[in-house]
Chains A and B, each alone.
Chain A
Amino acid sequence: MNRLLSGLFWISLCLILAFITLPLLVVVAASLSPSSTVTFSPADWTMKWYAALWASKWLDPFILSAKIAVIVSLVSGVLGALGAYAIAYEKCPGSEAIMAFLLSPLAVPQIVKGVAIVIFLSSAGLYALLGTPGLIAAHIVLTLPFAARMIATSIYNFDKNLDRAAQILGASKWQRIRHVLLPLIKPGVFSGMTFAFIISFNNIPLSVFLVRPGQTTLPITVINYMEYSLDPVLAAVNVASLIFILATIFLFEKLGGFSAQIHGGSK
């Protein structure tokens, strides 16, 4: 019986992994194919679509998206950590309600949110903010709840006895935050920032309302390009962004060590 269950477990696990990764393999193959039809013969493979990416048509949106994602991730990390500290550590009045409120943006469709932000900015006369500043602000609104909740979770898991131990050893409040709390919730902060980065970098539904012509983010550029042509350069863009995101996750992991969350926080 147990053997049957574990067999079923492994089979379903493999199926799920295949379902996730196989489409990616097709995209990779497509990005290497010489023509619009996807070929799987390595002899014919070409790097010309990747070479085509090295043009301002693709590079500018990539740089804009990366810039926005970095800012959004940093701001979400800092604001999220401050908010989570007030909510989860100091248990400020109404902390439960704020925590619940932080979930609410997840319940509003992003399209609705995008429209709302555009209407708000234009009716307030803030046309100057449409475009990149608006994009950054809108992305932060979207990612902050994720970051705050992740950091709050790591603060809830923080053993308050450690704070008391530091306190009785003579550490002031600031020293306790700096030397005990922050190092121990660092993995939570970095995983929150990673989420913010990925959500911002890949975002379409919010960005589509806020980009300015000539200043589009990478996903929006891809969408626009798709309206007129469907060639393997799109596959190459996707593979390139995938590699970029994986590299970012790897970098954040190195800095923050979220895997440390799994084995106790000391590496």
Chain B
Amino acid sequence: MNDIDIELICVRKTYGNNLVVNDINLAIPKGEFVSLLGPSGCGKTTTLNMIAGFQEPTGGEIRIRGRNQAGVPPEKRNIGLVFQNYALFPHMTVAENVGFGLKMKGTPRAEIEQTVRTALKSVHLEGLEARYPKELSGGQQQRTALARAIAPRPSVLLLDEPLSNLDLKLREAMRVELKEIQQQLGMTFVYVTHDQEEAMAMSDRVVVMSGGVITQEDKPEHIYNAPRTSFVADFIGKSNIFAVSLRPAADDRQEIVINGSSIALAIAADQPKVATAKFCCIRPEDVRVVGNDVSAKDANVLDGTICKTVNLGAHLDLWIAVDRDIMIKALVRSSRSNQLKVGNPVSISIAPAAIRLLAE
């Protein structure tokens, strides 16, 4: 089962002196849902366009199903693409849009009809065959675009921020649906997005990009729990990131000191060894607000003052000043909002295992 559908080998793209994609290596196995995640300008859309064939790489090689794609035009690559603005043909009905790919291939009419029906059923658009795109809601247009892309049964489907024009509720529903469709079809999905929640929710693997290079690629939970750089830690979820220095502590253990302060924190012994640790990352939900009843077994206890609170509904975001310039974000259940008021002194505790060292 080690079929590789898409392979990027040292792919680079430059516009003049501007290096947009810098020697990317990536192998995407068949049937995997991979997200290319990064802020705008990180090179993810350029990478997608190179896979689709709309842009030729300046260097390196792109292989689809094992074959080098240099010089192969998009219409010969047999892959699907869902556009951010859907790009539905305004002069064709939903059924004509969805059947377009098969019609171009010269598929018999009866077979087209059958396939269109199946494709529309899989995106829950039955009964809208005769509508024109402008008569559809945003969500329905999105589904039509998806049905059109999957109808010719490409082995790979590329998706370019397909949910970014939908409202939040619909976006969340479509996440679940997209994942279901992908699993039913067993198709390889390459999903480009800047929305880390989307990437986390759907992907088998997340490829974080920044500045034209891949910063980290891993399963979503690993990306979240074990970010490798401060960029990833900051971009994926919320985190407290501090510049730190390592120093030896008692019992052969090590601790870190937050630069520019006297705060020292014990770190777990089984922490992966990062010889040149420069930063540490602490997720806000790992910061335990213990109030005033500190017990002896609490590790890394710091005293501070609440500076700011933001109520997020189920949770409460707290900004706690523990030293002159050191601000630590914490996430607690909002049922505690009565005790945690701005200006209140509090103690917080950070489990050593929750502190993650980062090299850069």
Interface residues of A (CB under 8 A from B): 159, 161-162, 164-172, 175, 179-180, 183-184, 263-266
- Structural contact, A161 and B91, CB atoms closer than 8 A: no
Distance in Å: Cβ of A189 to nearest Cβ of chain B: 14
CB pairs A–B below 8 angstroms (7 shown): A165-B89, A165-B148, A169-B104, A169-B148, A169-B149, A170-B104, A172-B75
A169 to B97 CA separation, bound complex (whole angstroms) = 10
Measured CA separation A218–B152 after assembly (Å): 57
> Are A159 and B87 touching (Cβ within 8 A)?
yes
Q: For the complex, what is the distance from the CA of A171 to the CA of B103, rounded to whole Å?
A: 9
For B52, B88, B89, B105, the residue with the greatest tally of chain A CB atoms inside 10 Å of its CB is B89
Q: Give Cα A161–Cα B90 distance, bound, in whole angstroms.
A: 12
> Nearest Cβ in chain B — how far from A178, in angstroms?
10
Q: Is the CB of B78 within 8 A of A165?
A: no
- Tell me, in angstroms, the Cα distance from A210 to B52 when the chains sit together: 56
Rounded to whole angstroms, the CA-CA distance of A164 and B160 in the bound complex is 13
CB of A170 within 8 A of CB of B78, answer yes
- What per-residue 1/0 map shows which CB atoms of B60-84 lie under 8 Å from chain A? 0000000000000111111111010
Selected from A166, A175, A264, the residue in CB contact (under 8 A) with B90 is A264
- A264 to B52: give the CA distance in the assembly, Å: 28
User: Which chain B residues border A162 with CB–CB below 8 Å?
Assistant: 87, 89
CB contact between A180 and one of B54, B89, B105 (< 8 Å): that residue: B89
Contact B134 A170 (CB under 8 A): no
CA–CA, A36 to B149, complex, Å?
70
Say whether B134 contacts A166, CB under 8 Å. no
Closest 9 A-B residue pairs measured CB to CB? A169-B101, A165-B87, A161-B87, A266-B132, A171-B104, A168-B81, A167-B74, A183-B91, A265-B90
Query: Is the Cβ of B83 less than 8 Å from the Cβ of A264?
Result: no
> How far apart sit A106 and B105, CA to CA, in the bound complex (Å)?
46
Q: Could you tell me the dominant secondary structure of chain A's interface residues?
A: helix
Q: How far is the CB of B196 from chain A (nearest CB, A)?
A: 26
Neighbouring B residues of A263 by C-beta, 8 Å: 134
A170: chain B residues at CB < 8 Å are 75-76, 78, 101, 104-105, 152
Number of A-B contacts (CB under 8 A): 70
* 0/1 interface trace, chain B 295-309, chain A, CB 8 Å (1 if under): 000000000000000
**For residue B80, which residues in chain A have a CB less than 8 angstroms away from its CB?**
168-169
Within 8 A of A (CB), among B159-211: none
Find chain B residues with CB under 8 A from A161 CB: 83, 85, 87
Complex CA distance for A184 and B89, rounded to whole angstroms? 9
Most chain B CB atoms below 10 A, which of A159, A167, A172 = A167
In the bound assembly, the distance between CA atoms of A117 and B132 in angstroms comes to 49
Quick check: is B100 within 8 A (CB to CB) of the other chain?
Answer: yes
A164 to B53, CA, bound (A): 10
Q: Which residue of A lies closest to B148 (CB)?
A: A169
- Which residues of B sit under 8 angstroms from A172, Cβ to Cβ? 75, 104
Residue of B nearest to A264 (CB): B134
Q: Which residue of A lies closest to B99 (CB)?
A: A169
Question: How far is B132's CA from A266's CA once the two chains are assembled, in angstroms?
Answer: 7
Known: A169-B101, A170-B101. A164 touches B87 (CB 8 A): yes
A159 to B101, CA, bound (A): 19
CA of A166 to CA of B92, assembled, Å:
12
Complex-state Cα separation, A31 to B78, whole angstroms: 67
**Are B54 and A164 in contact, CB atoms less than 8 angstroms apart?**
yes
Q: Report B-chain residues with C-beta under 8 Å of the C-beta of A167.
A: 73-75
Q: B275-316 vs A: 1/0 string, CB under 8 Å?
A: 000000000000000000000000000000000000000000
Q: Which of B81-124 contact A (CB under 8 A)?
A: 81, 83, 85, 87-92, 100-101, 104-105
